[in-house]
Amino acid sequence: MQTNLYIELNGKQVDTAVFMDNIREYWKSEGNKMKDLKSVSIYFKPDENMCYYVLNGSIKGVFQVQS
């Protein structure tokens, strides 16, 4: 089953798949393997268009989401 989740606010729409796409890209760019990514916590602030994340409980990052 394919699931799509979109967030809409104030006339903007964000496909949440973009969150994991960016996180995977970062993870791989750091020389890591996907099998070593055990947990991902994502926090999206639509009023700022910012996505904050924590990988494996300790690696923190942020990126701007284009809507």
Amino acid of residue 54: V
pLDDT score for 67: 65
Which tens digit of pLDDT belongs to each residue from 27-50? Answer: 999 999 999 999 999 999 988 999
pLDDT for res 28: 97
Q: Which residues of 41-66 are buried (b: 16+ CB within 10 A; e: fewer)?
A: eeebeeeeeebebebeeeeeeebebe
Range list of H helices, 1-67: 17-29
pLDDT band with cut points at 50, 70 and 90 for residue 66: confident
Beginning with the edge strand found earlier in the chain, give each strand of the sheet holding 50-55 in spatial order: 40-45, 50-55, 59-64
Higher pLDDT, 1 or 65: 65
Domain boundaries, the chain: 6-64
- Report pTM: 0.85
Give 4-19 pLDDT, tens digit per residue: 889 998 888 899 999 9
